């Protein structure tokens, strides 16, 4: 790991400390999670599309009508009634 110094304003520091305490994590861990999100979101849309297409059709559920009745299957799994 690389040690990096950042500056937070008082409100950012107070809120980050509060959130860290609630989640039983360090402030550093929360900052790393935030950086990971920024990096993940910065992935170019064409890269996201390419990665999605690479896995499309790769897995089989064994359910032949899943594309047509996916809502009913989801409702069943969540214990809800279908309309």
pLDDT in tens, 28-63: 999 999 999 999 888 788 888 888 899 888 888 888
Q: Are 64 and 57 in contact (CB under 8 A)?
A: no
Q: What is the mean pLDDT of the chain?
A: 90
State mean pLDDT over 13-26.
Answer: 98
Query: What is the per-residue pLDDT for 3?
Result: 94
- Taking CA atoms, 9 is separated from 5, 6, 22, 25, 32, in Å, by 14, 10, 20, 20, 18
Residue 81 has pLDDT above 70, yes or no: no
Residue 73 has pLDDT above 80, yes or no: yes
pTM over 0.85: no
């Amino acid at each position: 790991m690389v040690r990096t110094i950042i500056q937070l304003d008082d409100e950012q520091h107070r809120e980050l400390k509060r959130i860290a305490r609630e989640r039983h994590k360090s402030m550093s861990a929360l900052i790393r999670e935030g950086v990971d999100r920024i990096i993940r979101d910065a992935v170019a849309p064409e890269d996201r599309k390419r990665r999605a297409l690479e896995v499309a059709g790769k897995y089989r559920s064994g359910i032949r009508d899943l594309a047509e009745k996916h809502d009913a299957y989801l409702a069943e799994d969540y214990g809800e009634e279908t309309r």
